[in-house]
């Protein structure tokens, strides 16, 4: 591998991950980056025969090398193939630690098996120390890039990424600030209970989007305050969109995997391609 920035793609099979590979190639071209296709031969199951690893390794190396050669010839990008043996989540996270972007393929949730598959992508994304894009294997044509902001410094990076992607691809950008006032569990009447977002919510949204017009004069930006929990409002807003961009608060490891963060909920639901920007 050279000193160029790299985009790492987790590949579990050539058919399943084609949309993920294609997205990675397009993004890599915008960065002048190289692409590394990584497949992990899963040896984390105790019942796996020892002879399986060698046979699976050879087959995966042959097939992934062919895919890399084809994509390199078509795009002119440096495309490499890497096959490792071990625990898929741990090895992929470690291997992508210095990448500019980690890209994963997954499935739209249609049944329990696909929900479990999305759980694997969620584990990788939650543990990865780099920004991660999760691409469904069935890409439904959409329009627009949706990004969630919350007024924190951490939401500046997702917004910047979303704006660059929208400008690069010619898509409109929709910026969502989720506003929610949970009602008490009792049925009593509460005078003064908020029914409309406060001026603070609108101020946060205005400050977050300030400067976009100057930086991207041709970019169409729609900014709105949406009522509801962040995961719900972003899911609804991104149905029919090309991509949904969210941030990550950076917690690592097992603890984060069970905290029900917005980004993890959205990967499990998979309304469209989801980018988690660190």
3-state secondary structure the chain: CCCCCEEEEECCCCCCCHHHHHHHHHHHHHHCCEEEEEEEEECCCCCCCHHHHHHHHHHHHHHHHHHHHHHHHHHCCCEEEEEEEECHHHHHHHHCCCCCEEEEEECCCCCHHHHHHHHHHHHHHHHCCCCEEEEECCCCCCCCEEEEECCCHHHHHHHHHHHHHHHHHCCCEEEEEEECCCCCCCCCCCCCCCCCCCHHHHHHHHHHHCCHHHHCCCCCEEEEEEECCHHHHHHHHHCCCCEEEEECCCCCHHHHHCCCCHHHHHHHHCCCEEEEEC
How many independent structural domains does the chain possess?
2
4-27 average pLDDT score: 86
* Whether residue 215 sits in one domain with residue 106: no
User: What is the pLDDT of the chain when averaged over all its residues?
Assistant: 83
* Whether residue 123 sits in one domain with residue 154: no
Q: How far apart are CA 54 and CA 95, in angstroms?
A: 20
* Whether residue 152 sits in one domain with residue 121: no
Task: Classify residue 167: in a domain, yes or no.
Answer: yes
Report pLDDT digits (tens) over 29-46: 999 999 999 999 887 666
Q: For 86, phi and psi rounded to 5 degrees?
A: 150, -150
Q: Is the pLDDT of residue 254 over 50?
A: no
Which two structure tokens, joined as six digits, stand for 25? Answer: 């190639």
* Whether residue 131 sits in one domain with residue 158: no
* Whether residue 172 sits in one domain with residue 243: yes
Give the domain range for residue 210. 145-277
Q: Which of residues 136, 171, 195 is at a domain's end?
A: 136
Task: Classify residue 122: in a domain, yes or no.
Answer: yes
What is the pLDDT at residue 18?
84
Based on the number of CB atoms within 10 Å of its own CB, is 20 exposed (0-12), middle (13-18) or buried (19 or more)? buried
Task: Classify residue 176: in a domain, yes or no.
Answer: yes
Identify which has the larger pLDDT, 190 or 236. 236
Task: Classify residue 1: in a domain, yes or no.
Answer: no
Task: Classify residue 223: in a domain, yes or no.
Answer: yes
Task: Classify residue 196: in a domain, yes or no.
Answer: yes
Q: How far apart are CA 214 and CA 224, in angstroms?
A: 19
* Whether residue 91 sits in one domain with residue 42: yes
CATH number of the domain at 247, please: 3.40.50.12370
CATH number of the domain at 92, please: 3.40.50.620
* Whether residue 108 sits in one domain with residue 161: no
Report pLDDT digits (tens) over 126-160: 889 999 999 988 777 789 999 999 888 888 999 99
* Whether residue 115 sits in one domain with residue 211: no
Q: Is the pLDDT of residue 255 over 60?
A: no
Q: Which of residues 83, 102, 136 is at a domain's end?
A: 136
Task: Classify residue 268: in a domain, yes or no.
Answer: yes
Q: How confident is the model at residue 66 (pLDDT cuts 50, 70, 90)?
A: very high
**Are 268 and 122 a contacting pair, CB within 8 Å?**
yes
Q: How confident is the model at residue 265 (pLDDT cuts 50, 70, 90)?
A: confident
Q: Which of residues 109, 136, 163 is at a domain's end?
A: 136
* Whether residue 112 sits in one domain with residue 52: yes
Q: Is the pLDDT of residue 207 over 90?
A: yes
* Whether residue 100 sits in one domain with residue 174: no
What is the pLDDT at residue 117?
47
* Whether residue 191 sits in one domain with residue 88: no
Report pLDDT digits (tens) over 78-123: 999 999 988 889 999 999 999 999 999 886 554 434 444 457 888 8
Q: How confident is the model at residue 177 (pLDDT cuts 50, 70, 90)?
A: very high
* Whether residue 94 sits in one domain with residue 53: yes
What is the pLDDT at residue 161?
97
């Amino acid at each position: 591998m050279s000193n160029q920035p790299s985009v790492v793609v987790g590949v579990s099979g050539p058919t399943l991950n084609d949309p993920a590979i294609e997205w990675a190639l397009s993004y890599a071209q915008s960065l002048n980056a190289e692409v590394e296709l990584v497949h992990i031969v899963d040896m984390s199951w105790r019942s796996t025969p020892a002879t399986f690893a060698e046979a699976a390794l050879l087959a995966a190396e042959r097939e992934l090398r062919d895919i890399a050669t084809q994509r390199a010839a078509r795009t002119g990008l440096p495309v490499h193939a890497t096959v490792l043996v071990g625990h898929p989540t741990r090895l992929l996270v470690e291997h992508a630690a210095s990448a500019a972007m980690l890209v994963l393929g997954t499935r739209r949730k249609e049944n329990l098996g696909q929900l479990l598959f999305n759980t694997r992508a969620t584990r990788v994304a939650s543990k990865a120390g780099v920004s991660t894009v999760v691409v469904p294997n069935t890409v439904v044509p959409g329009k627009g890039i949706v990004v969630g902001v919350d007024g924190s410094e951490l939401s500046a990076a997702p917004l910047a990424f979303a704006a660059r992607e929208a400008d690069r691809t010619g898509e409109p950008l929709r910026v969502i600030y989720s506003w929610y006032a949970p009602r008490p569990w009792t049925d009593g009447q509460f005078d003064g209970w908020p029914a409309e977002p406060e001026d603070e919510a609108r101020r946060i949204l205005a400050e977050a989007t300030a400067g976009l017009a100057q930086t991207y004069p041709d970019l169409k930006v729609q900014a709105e305050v949406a009522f509801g929990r962040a995961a719900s409002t972003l899911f609804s807003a991104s149905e029919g969109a090309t991509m949904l961009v969210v941030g990550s608060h950076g917690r690592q490891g097992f603890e984060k995997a069970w905290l029900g963060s917005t980004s993890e909920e959205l990967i499990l639901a998979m309304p469209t391609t989801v980018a988690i920007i660190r």
